[in-house]
């Protein structure tokens, strides 16, 4: 069967799309800014030794989750890798609970036992936070399987990176997801570097989403620095899955400004490359300009949002410092569920 050809990917030009109202535009600005300020604060707390281990920041990629969450409905599920703070904030999880997990405190989403890479919220249908590259892909298809089994019309967003896209289990999952028409949106967050290895140094495939064609899966490439384009593509993908047509792949081209993790000196790319993305393609600045030039918000309006976000993040940081470490008997709990 021929690959289902997608609608051409959006151009990413800064033009207000009809799928977004001024209010929603402000919401996007607010949500993306929350992620960025949260992550900057997390980086700061890491530097102070309050956060340990691995800490992978989402700075630069904010438009991906914010745009896709705008295409989701109540009850839809999401699952991702270890670069997960943005996903949690975007689906409505509490910044305090996320930050307190980063500092390993009892007030964290996993009572301090999971850490940066392992957080969950059944209430918000967020299924983690997974530390093994690519493992969340079959898990996400399994979540979609559970919804199809029950006969509801929910969709699961399964996020993974360009690095995970070379794992074998991704293709095992593609095969079964299409075979069984599972309602799963595979979101490849292509930030162009798998730790220190660029996409060009890891594959000769000209694009990652087109690999789905080998399994009969439809998909498209999306400009991940344009939140409007992401929402637009997300809506297309969700409608496709909800209609029972099976999985859909979105390869979202994005960019992470920071290193792979906090201890990454990032010598595999030039400072100029990062600077150029920050200055010319920044997703938050893009929305900010849309709001200002469209007359939807004044500088003062945006300053008020900035202040509101700063307060939320500072409050989260304070909470994450004040929340106590888990009691020592927590070592022995949650190993088994009560039979």
Partner 1 sequence: MATEILMPALSPTMEEGTLAKWLVKEGDTVQAGDILAEIETDKATMEFEAVDEGVIGKILVPEGTEGVKVNTTIAIIGEAGEDMSATPAAASPAPAAPVAEAAPAAPVAAAPVAPVADQGPDWPEGTPMKTQTVREALRDAMAEEMRVNDNVFLMGEEVGEYQGAYKISQGLLDEFGAKRVIDTPITEHGFAGIAVGAAFGGLNPIVEFMTFNFAMQAIDQIINSAAKTLYMSGGQMGCPIVFRGPNGAAARVGAQHSQDYAAWYAHIPGLKVVQPYTAADAKGLLKQAIRDPNPVIFLENEILYGKTFEVPDLPDFTIPFGKAKIARAGDDVTLVSFGIGMTYAMEAAERLAAEGISAEVIDLRTLRPLDYGTVLASVQKTNRCVTIEEGFPVASIGNHISAYLMQNAFDYLDAPVINCTGKDVPMPYAANLEKLALVTTDEVVAAVKSVTYR
Name residues contacting partner 1, limited to 219-278 (CB under 8 A).
Answer: 257, 262-263, 265-267, 271, 278
Closer by beta carbon to partner 1, 1 or else 328 = 328
Is 132 near partner 1 (CB under 8 A)?
yes
Nearest residue (CB) to partner 1, 121 versus 190: 121
Contacts with partner 1 by CB under 8 A: the residue count is: 71
We find the least distance from the C-beta atom of residue 246 to partner 1, in angstroms, to be 14
Number of Cβ within 10 Å of residue 100's Cβ equals 26
Segment interacting with partner 1 (CB under 8 A) among 116-124, 186-194, 220-228, 235-243 = 116-124
* Two structure tokens written together for 115: 């850490």
Q: Cβ of 144: how many Cβ atoms within 10 Å?
A: 27
Q: Is 48 in the site for partner 1 (CB under 8 A)?
A: yes
Task: Give CA separation, 157 vs 29, 127, 186, 259, 332, in Å.
Answer: 22, 10, 6, 25, 33
Nearest approach in angstroms of CB 225 to partner 1 is 16
Three state DSSP letters for 187-206: EEEECCEECCEEHHHHCCCC
Kindly tell me which residue out of 20, 93, 143, 302 binds partner 1, with binding defined by CB under 8 A.
143
Q: Tell me the closest approach of the beta carbon of residue 258 to partner 1, in angstroms.
A: 8
Pick the closest to residue 305 from 12, 15, 23, 92 (CA basis).
23
Q: Is 214 in the site for partner 1 (CB under 8 A)?
A: no
Cβ count near 333 (within 10 Å): 11
Contact indicator for 80, 73 with CB cutoff of 8 Å: no
Helices 62-69 & 22-47 angle (0-180, nearest 10): 140
Closest to partner 1 by CB, 107 vs 224, is: 107
Measured between alpha carbons, how far is 93 from 115 in angstroms, rounded to an integer? 15
How many whole angstroms separate alpha carbon 276 and alpha carbon 53?
A: 30
Q: Which is nearer to partner 1, 69 or 147 (CB)?
A: 147
Q: Which residue lies nearer to partner 1 by CB, 223 or 282?
A: 282
- Tell me whether residue 231 or residue 260 sits nearer to partner 1 (CB atom): 260
Is the Cβ of residue 12 or residue 131 nearer to partner 1 in the bound state?
Answer: 131
161 binds partner 1 (CB under 8 A): no
Does position 175 bind partner 1 by CB under 8 A?
yes
Segment 73-112, which members bind partner 1 (CB under 8 A)? 77, 79, 103, 108-112
The H-or-E segment that residue 154 falls in is none
Kindly state whether residue 138 participates in binding partner 1, applying the rule CB under 8 A.
Answer: yes
Q: How far is the CB of 90 from partner 1 (least distance, A)?
A: 19
Facing residues of 80 across strands? 129
């Amino acid at each position: 069967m021929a690959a289902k050809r997608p609608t051409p990917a959006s151009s990413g030009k800064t033009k207000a799309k009809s799928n977004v109202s001024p209010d929603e535009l402000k919401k996007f600005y607010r949500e993306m800014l929350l992620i960025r300020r949260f992550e900057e604060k997390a980086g700061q707390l890491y530097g102070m030794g309050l956060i340990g281990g691995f800490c992978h920041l989402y700075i630069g990629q904010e438009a991906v989750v914010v745009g896709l969450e705008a295409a989701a409905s109540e009850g839809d599920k999401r699952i991702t890798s270890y670069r997960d703070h943005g996903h949690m904030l975007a689906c409505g999880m509490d910044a305090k609970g996320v930050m307190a997990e980063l500092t390993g405190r009892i007030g964290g989403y996993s009572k301090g036992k999971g850490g940066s890479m392992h957080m969950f919220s059944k209430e918000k249908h967020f299924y983690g936070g997974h530390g093994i590259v690519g493992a969340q892909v079959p898990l996400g298809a399994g979540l979609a399987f559970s919804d199809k089994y029950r006969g509801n019309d929910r969709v699961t967003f399964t996020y993974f990176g360009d690095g995970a896209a070379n794992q074998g289990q991704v293709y095992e999952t593609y095969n079964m997801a299409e075979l069984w028409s599972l309602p799963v949106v595979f979101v490849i967050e292509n930030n162009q570097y798998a730790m220190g290895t660029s996409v060009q140094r890891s594959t000769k495939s000209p694009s990652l989403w087109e690999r789905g064609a080998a399994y009969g899966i439809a998909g498209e490439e999306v400009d991940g620095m344009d939140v409007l384009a992401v929402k637009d593509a997300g809506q297309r993908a969700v409608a496709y899955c909800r209609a029972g047509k099976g999985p859909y792949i979105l390869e979202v081209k994005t960019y992470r400004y920071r290193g792979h993790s906090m201890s990454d000196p990032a010598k595999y790319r030039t400072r100029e490359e990062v600077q150029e993305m920050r200055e010319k393609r920044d997703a938050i600045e893009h929305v900010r300009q849309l709001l200002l030039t469209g007359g939807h918000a004044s500088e003062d309006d945006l300053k008020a949002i900035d202040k509101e976000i700063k307060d939320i993040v500072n409050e989260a940081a304070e909470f994450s410092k004040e929340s106590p470490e888990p009691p020592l008997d927590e070592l022995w709990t949650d190993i088994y569920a009560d039979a």
